[in-house]
Amino acid sequence: MAATGTQRHTRHLRPPEGVAEAATLLRAGGLVAFPTETVYGLGADATDGRAVAAIYEAKGRPSFNPLIVHVPNREALSGLVRFGPEAHLLAERFWPGPLTLVLPLADNSALSPLVTAGLPTVAVRVPAAPLAQELLRMVGRPVAAPSANPSGRISPSRADHVLEGLAGRIDAVLNGGPCAVGLESTIVRPDPAVLLRDGGLAREDLEAVLGRAVAEDTTPGRVQAPGQLASHYAPSVSLRMGVAASQANASVHVGFGADKGDVTLSVSGDLIEAAANLFQVLHQADAMATARGTGITVSDIPNLGLGRAINDRLRRASAPR
Ligand code: TXA
Ligand code: MG
């Protein structure tokens, strides 16, 4: 597989018969753009790390922003997240609909750590669009989906917008016509409620249900680049990048390809596999290094394709704290 810009034949699927095909592709680890009532999302099986890594590759994202997980109803979230009282209230009132809730991740959740970019919280949403509902029910697994546009471009509200940006980079687009809302979902972190992004659900409607004003999180870059937050996962020990196993000394070494380590991101040197394994492997190396009273070293990762996002994340993890 090429390190960057994997070529895919992009099918243009239409309902009703195209829905089953879209579900089959998603269950097989494929990338399928589908319409919600807000904008088109670029979906992948949220429990499949390689499929999630391929989302970042297709979008050309230079960093691992956490993604929104889509499910057909609240029951489908059991075992994945925990609901507080406000989360419960907002879900009751506004789902299905253009509201995303950022909730604490359940212990041993089946979600790939790449979905949350290693955060202990995950953004979840139940879209209202009938076609999204039908597709998610058929898939029967949580579907991670950012807006289906290349990184840095505007969100797509029609299937042809998706194709303009992503043809040849995804497996299919399910054409459901134009999105009704055309604006991304409103994002709230509840208990106590903080507004992370204004969107398709009006702030006034949220406040009416909660019975009070909702504070906005005004930290610069809060939602645009959550990877820059201090709360983002960072190992508790020191981390050095671009080190070969032969120079690793007593550290816990994270290998890549031919450069073997105590743990490895990808034995075959595959950047998609490395991205899928990144957060899991960092957690593991952190625990081993803490137990041994040493630090972490990481092999040189080529700075192309998903390697750029991996290096971006490693640089943050290696910054002095
Ligand atoms: O309407 C929408 O929300 C569309 C459709 C496809 O559902 N999706 C969408 O996804 O807009 P995306 O990836 O373009 O934006 C998701 C936003 C990002 O700004 C991300 O930083 C934020 O959600 N986010 C995700 N998980 C988060 C978390 N755990 N904490 C804080 N912010 C989070
Ligand atoms: Mg977006």
Q: What lines the ligand 1 site, CB under 6 Å?
A: 36, 38-39, 41, 65-68, 100, 102, 116, 119, 121-123, 125, 145-147, 184-185, 187, 196, 223, 226
Are the CB atoms for 280 and 113 separated by under 8 Å? yes
pTM score, whole prediction:
0.89
* Whole-number pLDDT of residue 313: 86
Q: How many whole angstroms from 15 Cα to the centroid of ligand 2?
A: 25
* SS3 readout for 155-180: CCCCHHHHHHHHCCCCCEEECCCCCC
Q: Name the residue of 65, 181, 188, 197 whose CB sits within 8 Å of the most ligand 1 atoms, as the mutation to test its pocket.
A: 65
Q: How many whole angstroms from 155 Cα to the centroid of ligand 2?
A: 6
pLDDT above 70 as % of the chain: 93
Q: How many whole angstroms from 127 Cα to the centroid of ligand 1?
A: 13
Mind giving me the DSSP string for 239-254?
EE-S--GGG-TTSEEE
pLDDT tens digits for 213-262? 998 876 654 544 444 444 456 788 999 999 999 999 899 999 999 999 99
Q: How many whole angstroms from 32 Cα to the centroid of ligand 2?
A: 16
Q: What six digits make up the tokens of 219?
A: 């930290």
Are the CB atoms for 128 and 97 separated by under 8 Å? yes
Are the CB atoms for 111 and 66 separated by under 8 Å? no
Q: What six digits make up the tokens of 251?
A: 């550290």
pLDDT tens digits for 1-21? 334 568 999 999 999 999 999
What is the rounded CA–CA span in Å between residue 253 and residue 249?
Answer: 9
Q: Can you name the residues that pair with 187 across neighbouring β-strands?
A: 100, 197
Q: Can you name the residues that pair with 255 across neighbouring β-strands?
A: 264
- Overall average pLDDT of the 269-295 stretch: 94
